[in-house]
Structures are given as C-alpha cells and as structure tokens.
Amino acid sequence: MSDGNLKSLEVCFTPALFKTFEVEGKIVVLVDILRATSTICTALHYGVREIIPVGSVKEAKRYKSLGYIVAGERNGKILPFADFGNSPFNFMNDRVAGQSIVYSTTNGTKAIQMAEGCSQLVIGSYLNHRVLTDWLLSQNKDVLVLCSGWKNKFNLEDTLFAGALCKTLLKSHKFKTICDSVLASVDLWQLAQKDILAYIQKAAHRNRLRKLGLDDVLQYCHTFDAAPVVPLYKGNSIFAG
C-alpha cells in the first residue's frame, strides 16, 4: 500500500485537548481503562443489551425514577441512588443480562458525549484489544484514540493502552502517524509491557484506587481479550457491534 493510502493515527491524551483535533470522518476509540471502557466491554460481553451513557448525576437520577437499572460513580464512589458502581465485576451476572443499563462515571461517559460528530465511536480496552484492532483494520478510516484521563489531566493507564493499540495498528502498515502523542504512548507501552501491573503501580490513579479500596479490578482490566466485543455508540446507546 502506498503512503498516500495509509490512514492517519492520532492519540488525544485528555478530553480537554479534544477540540484541537479534527474528527470528521474519523473513528474515535474511547479509552478509560480504570474503569468505564473495561466495564462496558465486560457488560456487553456478558449479555447486557445496551449501555446508555449519561453525563450528569441529575440525568442518571431521572432514568432511575423511570425504572432503569443505573450504574454510576463519582470520584470512584458509587452514586447513592445507583444500583451499583462501575466495577466490571458487577456486570458478570444474570441480573443484568438482556437489560438496558444507564451508566454515568467521572470521566468516561462525559468523553463519550464529547466525541459526537465523528464518523463512529467505539469503545476500547485491553479486554477487547484483538477484536477491536481487527475491526479498526477492516474499516479503512482514520483513527483517533481519545483517552479519558483523570479530570481532564493526562493519565498513564489510558496512555499505555493507547500505545498498545497504536503499536498493533502501525505494525499492520495500514496506518501512518505524525502525531507526537502516538509516538510517546507507543514508547511508554514498550517500556511497560513486560510487566504492566508493576509499571502501573506508580501511576497516580493507582494510588487513588488503593485509597478507595477499589484496586481489585486492576489485574482484570489489564487482561488482553477477556471480553471480545466491539462496543459501538449508535443513537444514544452502546451496543455490541
């Protein structure tokens, strides 16, 4: 394939930088490893019918009053009126299979709403790495990886996954990049990949999770291909594509 036919690859480190990127015609891959996108992949893999992401606590509450099952957290703590928080482990049971789940988190669901206007929004995590890269390679479109970060700041755990994904896509020789964030994230991934859990120990969010007693999901959220689905955002919901 000649260079002119290669698709472009970019990484946006936080939603606060998203407006500096052109999105038209591009596939946006949303990443929030700890934990929204890991949880969405898990839920759809375990049979949830659809995930309805909502940005505000108020809106989540409104859905609750309409009878929906609501999952949600702010700053890592479960919303008081929610049925459960955003641990992927909550979605591995019969209660949620076949259901529509309303989902609101600190970082992830806000980013979903920002990405409107792109060609297609897809959910990325280690859990669906292989099916996601296969799907992206089949689409023949430019790709922009949007890391959710932490309160609009850069975070390591999303960046490392962006690096893992970009490395696989670049190896296919179907993509090119002139984006420094791609180069940085691939290099960081190459440093971290031998022992991703040891590397992530030093990430700031790791400390936040430990303080909240939520670090039980860390290993699961860094497991390749444990939830092989391609979650696509269509209408106002996320379905398994």
Residues forming contacts to a second copy in the complex (CB under 8 A) are 13-14, 16-17, 19-20, 150-156, 159, 178-181, 183-184, 187-188, 191, 202-205, 207
CB of 209 to a second copy, least distance (A): 13
Give the nearer residue to a second copy in terms of CB position, either 128 or 159: 159
Q: Which is nearer to a second copy, 71 or 200 (by Cβ)? A: 200
CA atoms of 121 and 27, how far apart (whole Å): 6
CB of 198 to a second copy, least distance (A): 13
Name which of 18 and 63 has its Cβ closer to a second copy.
18
- Nearest distance from residue 137's CB to a second copy, in Å? 23
CB of 130 or CB of 210, closer to a second copy: 210
- Shortest Å distance, C-beta 203 to a second copy: 6
Residue closer to a second copy (CB basis): 15 or 231: 15
Yes or no: say if 241 and 232 are a contact pair by the CB < 8 Å rule.
Answer: yes
Contact 168, 129 (CB under 8 A): yes
Q: What is the nearest approach in angstroms of a second copy to the Cβ of residue 194?
A: 13
